[in-house]
Structure 1
Amino acid sequence: MLLRIPVFAVFWLLLAASCGQAAAQDNPAPGRVSQCQAIAQGLPHAVFASYSVPPASLATGAVDDQVRITFLGHATFFIETPGGVSIATDFSGAYPPPYTPTVVTMNKAHPSHYTLSPDPDIKYVLHGWSDVPGEKARYNLTIGDTLIRNVTSDIRSGWGSGGFEKDANSIFIFEVAGLCIGHLGHLHFELNDTQYAEIGRLDVLMVPVDGGLTMGANSMSRVVKRLRSSLILPMHRVGPPLDQFLAMFGPDFDIAYAPTSSVTVSLKALPKKPLIYVLKGM
């Protein structure tokens, strides 16, 4: 049977589909030049910028601004910037922030890391995977005072199946107030030299410590040691593996437990020695 659809109906269907895609982006500004990426003459010998000296190109007053980071649960942090941008990472809706965020980022590994029906009042919904088969998710956009970009990685598909999905996880990087803040997402495999170079410097690192649902403590600790961020915030804890993860670090790293679920960070106040800081609720 031939189904006849009026021309105006087709128009509205196409318009709704295009608006649904556009709403996730809402025409953000093109990304500015990253201050956090590696300066590399060639791989694998990448040279990273020092986190102890702010880039000269940054506005003088911006480096003193503070960013507030709150652990909401699982892999969801709530980032609040000096310019009023709010970001919920690996947002599934299960750990709601105190108010509607400007931006949410998501990863595909499990439903606890994403939702396909976010609050329509969220202005920017950034999937860490591409909705187009065979393509990578690519972000380099400026929202308010924050540059948001990503570096993709593969994930396992099906527990114990041996298969994998290419580029289905994104390491999201938020550059704001002179800081380079990175969220590893649901990282299943150790990073390669190209990925490290694409990531660049990370002053603050959000790292899963589940002991195997992502990577084991040995593998994850190697990633953390290579990135050598000033402030390391564990997340994605399942059972006791936090202790196993912490045991991987010697005297080159400090470990402390926060009295609250929030920490306020500024470029000038970063620890001189890498600090693994366990926020309350972890």
Structure 2
Amino acid sequence: MRTIFGWPLFLSLAVSIVSTAALAQEAERIPSHCRSLASDAAPERLWRASVGTPVPEDTVRIRFINHAMFAVQAGDVSVVTDYNGYIGDTLWSPDVVTMNQAHSSHYTNNVHGDVAHILEGWGAFGEGAEHDLDLGPMRIRNVPTDIRLGNREGGGREPNGNSIFIFEAGGLCIGHLGHLHHEPTEEQYAAIGRLDVVMAPVDGGYTVPREVMMRIVERFRSSIVIPMHWFSRYGLNDFLSGMEEDFAVVETHGSELLVSLDRLPRQPTIMVLEPAFLSD
């Protein structure tokens, strides 16, 4: 089922479940429920926001910048995913950047000096990386995945050479699949847990084949799916067409969402964000 909503200013994405467990919240962050199921509340509105400005309590801002880069903000903590060094004509910088090494468009060796935490999704060959960073309003952890090696490296695969990063904030569990080269194993699915929101690469070639990504997205059954790493509207539409039987599709016509635990869609919903570099 496909629905299209316009983007008048100050409309909000609303999607509702009530979690009694969330009432017993920690001092600075509601515990996430990565394995919980969404309730049957209906979506209501969409709204626009601006990276760097305050967000409502227990709410997460998600901004699609470009390629696989998103700015994710909760409270006074912000992160940019798969950071490649350029987020736009802006002096703003996040507290944290995550990176993957599959391609140079997903990492950089020149990170802005104001970034306090640089989380690389790889480690020594075959060993991978292990991150579990608790910053109060946001916890960031990773699940290593394998990557394909190029011809110059002799082909084959590097075990644990990239990472899926998970952001727990406002009671939400938000996953960024990065430059994924294979379907997660059962152990990896278990380590990732239940994702309320997932950013999924849908290019169909540079990462995994499109039908494999469809299967992965269906397996997560996230309340909100945000397509990324798409290089043409044709490729994006092919993914949407393959998913619309079981997922609602919303064309937001914007680049940002504000999401909260108590407002998640009744039906799993693909939210199409348009990439937009940041600007002051």
TM over 0.5: yes
SS at match of 2:85: coil
Deviation of residue 194 (structure 1)? 0.5
1:170 aligned residue? 163
2:201 aligned residue? 208
- Alignment gaps of 5+ in structure 2: 1-28, 41-55
2:107 aligned residue? 114
1:79 aligned residue? 72
SS at match of 2:215: helix
Cα distance in 2, alignment partners of residues 257 and 159 from structure 1:
38
Deviation of residue 280 (structure 1)? 1.9
Cα distance in 1, alignment partners of residues 73 and 88 from structure 2:
14
SS at match of 2:270: strand
Equivalent residues in 2 for 1:29-68, closer than 5 Å? 35-37=32-34, 48-52=35-39, 65-68=58-61
Contact kept, 8 Å, 1:76 with 1:89, in 2: the verdict is yes
1:281 aligned residue? 275
Deviation of residue 159 (structure 1)? 5.7
Cα distance in 2, alignment partners of residues 134 and 163 from structure 1:
12
Cα distance in 2, alignment partners of residues 96 and 78 from structure 1:
12
- Alignment gaps of 5+ in structure 1: 1-31, 38-47, 54-62
Contact kept, 8 Å, 1:210 with 1:242, in 2: the verdict is yes
Cα distance in 2, alignment partners of residues 180 and 159 from structure 1:
36
1:257 pairs with 2:251: yes
Deviation of residue 211 (structure 1)? 1.2
Deviation of residue 168 (structure 1)? 1.1
In the TM superposition, structure 1's runs of 4+ consecutive aligned residues that sit over 3 Å from their partners are: 32-37, 159-162
2:131 aligned residue? 139
Cα distance in 2, alignment partners of residues 72 and 173 from structure 1:
18
Higher normalized contact order (CA 8 Å, seq sep 6+, divided by chain length) = 2
Deviation of residue 165 (structure 1)? 1.2
Residues 36-69 of structure 1 show CA distances to partners (whole Å, capped at 9, x for unaligned) of 45xxxxxxxxxx422449xxxxxxxxx9621111
The alignment yields a C-alpha RMSD, in angstroms, of 2.3
Residues 150-178 of structure 1 show CA distances to partners (whole Å, capped at 9, x for unaligned) of 10100111169641111111100000000
Cα distance in 2, alignment partners of residues 88 and 35 from structure 1:
20
Equivalent residues in 2 for 1:231-242, closer than 5 Å? 231-239=224-232, 240-242=234-236
Cα distance in 1, alignment partners of residues 95 and 57 from structure 2:
23
Cα distance in 2, alignment partners of residues 134 and 243 from structure 1:
36
Count of residue pairs the alignment pairs up = 230
Structure with max Cα Rg: 1
Cα distance in 1, alignment partners of residues 121 and 173 from structure 2:
18
Deviation of residue 92 (structure 1)? 0.4
Q: TM-score, normalised by structure 1?
A: 0.76
Q: TM-score, normalised by structure 2?
A: 0.77
Cα distance in 2, alignment partners of residues 148 and 118 from structure 1:
19
Cα distance in 1, alignment partners of residues 151 and 58 from structure 2:
43
2:145 aligned residue? 153
Contact kept, 8 Å, 2:31 with 2:171, in 1: the verdict is no
Deviation of residue 133 (structure 1)? 3.3
Percent identity reads 47
SS at match of 2:195: coil
Cα distance in 1, alignment partners of residues 89 and 36 from structure 2:
33
Structure 2 letter corresponding to 1:49? S
Residues 168-210 of structure 1 show CA distances to partners (whole Å, capped at 9, x for unaligned) of 1110000000000000000010111111000001000000011
SS at match of 2:236: helix
Contact kept, 8 Å, 1:88 with 1:97, in 2: the verdict is no
